A = this chain, B = another copy of it.
Amino acid sequence: MTSTLRNDRLLRALLRQPVDATPVWIMRQAGRYLPEYRATRERAGSFMNLCRTPELACEVTLQPLERFPLDAAILFSDILTVPDAMGLGLHFVEGEGPRFEHPVRTPAEIAALAAPDPELELGYVTDAVRLIRRELDGRVPLIGFSGSPWTLATYMVEGGSSKEFARVKGLLYDDPATLHRLLGVLSDAVAAYLNAQIAAGAQAVMIFDTWGGSLTPAGYREFSLVYMQRIVESLQRESEGRRVPVTLFTKGGGQWLEHMAASGCDALGLDWTTDIGDARRRVGDRVALQGNLDPAVLYASNERVAEETRKVLESFGDGPGHVFNLGHGIHPAIDPERVAALVEAVHAGI
């Protein structure tokens, strides 16, 4: 686990330290756009089996690194493992996304929830982290992650994905105290979960706030950001003699970057609706920035991918603090060749 890290560009860039080339990784880099991923997923039988079997999670985590000279690995897992460990019964319905067998809606159901012990109830995740670190053997750093409390709460209250957030927003507006109770226990659970990933070997962590952008500005601060901030404050920020950088990513959060940058995190993930140069002018001396190529650029030719990649690099400009990524997860229909073109363009620089 303590083998020397041979490529530390990601960790340096997240801390705004100089690097020899902009580091790059891709959200969902271990995913359905890779035929080898689809083969392992097939062998696993189900998506949850894939997540719950450390050897298979490790296998798919490493797959994109075999193809592309990426600068980081990210733990293969799902954002909903924490509520699953809280007893909600996560399963996946083909073509419909995640579902919980036991959604929580009433004050009594929410009061009965407790933060799981990650080493006991999410041991398959920490086992996967340890195994991936061993297999990576210092090649690149490993990123751990979790969903944000607000994002987890939306799935837990709605029972699955949602477009209108009828139930969780009904709770937000009609019984905010109960929602705050849920978000409080989720903050404790996520902090413990990320600390367990760090103890097991995660060298950076990221909090995915997929649905923070569905809130009003005031609602975002009260129901999402404050809980991410509480988690940031509870994290073990030093491990194996290095700082463990924390990245916050709120999809649709481009209007709230100043607030996010004041949370104590090291870096902000940006979706593609914000110009990264403008974002840097707004917050760039306080945090690093990760992003933010439109994932749909990868439907175009290799030449256009390289050109659009250069535009993002140019917009960020010189100086430290940029981790290249897409503005959201890579789409399943993308040709892996496009990713090769992207990674090459990032490392070649502006």
Chain A interface residues toward B at CB < 8 A: 164-167, 169-170, 172-174, 213, 215-219, 252, 254-255, 272-275, 278, 294-297, 299-301, 304, 308, 331, 333
Task: From the candidates B166, B272, B274, B296, name the one contacting A170 in the complex (CB within 8 A).
Answer: B296
Residue numbers in B under 8 Å from A294 (CB-CB):
169, 215-216, 219
Nearest B residue to A257 via CB reads B255
A89 → chain B, closest Cβ, in Å? 25
A105 → chain B, closest Cβ, in Å? 13
In the bound complex, CA of A247 to CA of B109 (Å): 45
Task: From the candidates B173, B275, B299, name the one contacting A166 in the complex (CB within 8 A).
Answer: B299
Instruction: Decide: B273 and A217 in contact? CB cutoff 8 A.
Output: yes
Instruction: Decide: A275 and B218 in contact? CB cutoff 8 A.
Output: yes
A158 → chain B, closest Cβ, in Å? 12
Residue numbers in B under 8 Å from A333 (CB-CB):
164, 166
Instruction: Decide: A216 and B331 in contact? CB cutoff 8 A.
Output: no
Task: Pull 14 A–B residue pairs with CB atoms less than 8 Å apart, ordered by A.
Answer: A164-B295, A164-B296, A164-B331, A164-B333, A166-B331, A166-B333, A169-B297, A173-B296, A173-B304, A174-B299, A216-B272, A217-B274, A218-B275, A219-B294
A119 → chain B, closest Cβ, in Å? 37
In the bound complex, CA of A183 to CA of B165 (Å): 33
Nearest B residue to A333 via CB reads B166
In the bound complex, CA of A296 to CA of B172 (Å): 10
Instruction: Decide: B273 and A213 in contact? CB cutoff 8 A.
Output: yes
Task: From the candidates B174, B215, B254, B295, name the one contacting A255 in the complex (CB within 8 A).
Answer: B254
In the bound complex, CA of A216 to CA of B273 (Å): 5
Residue numbers in B under 8 Å from A304 (CB-CB):
173-174
Residue numbers in B under 8 Å from A165 (CB-CB):
296
Instruction: Decide: A273 and B252 in contact? CB cutoff 8 A.
Output: yes
In the bound complex, CA of A28 to CA of B194 (Å): 43
In the bound complex, CA of A275 to CA of B274 (Å): 18
Task: From the candidates B174, B215, B252, name the one contacting A301 in the complex (CB within 8 A).
Answer: B174
Residue numbers in B under 8 Å from A174 (CB-CB):
299-301, 304
Residue numbers in B under 8 Å from A255 (CB-CB):
254-255, 273-274
In the bound complex, CA of A272 to CA of B219 (Å): 10
In the bound complex, CA of A252 to CA of B165 (Å): 17
In the bound complex, CA of A308 to CA of B169 (Å): 13
Nearest B residue to A219 via CB reads B294
In the bound complex, CA of A62 to CA of B190 (Å): 50
A282 → chain B, closest Cβ, in Å? 11
Residue numbers in B under 8 Å from A273 (CB-CB):
213, 215-217, 252, 255
Nearest B residue to A165 via CB reads B296
Task: From the candidates B217, B218, B252, name the one contacting A252 in the complex (CB within 8 A).
Answer: B252
A169 → chain B, closest Cβ, in Å? 4
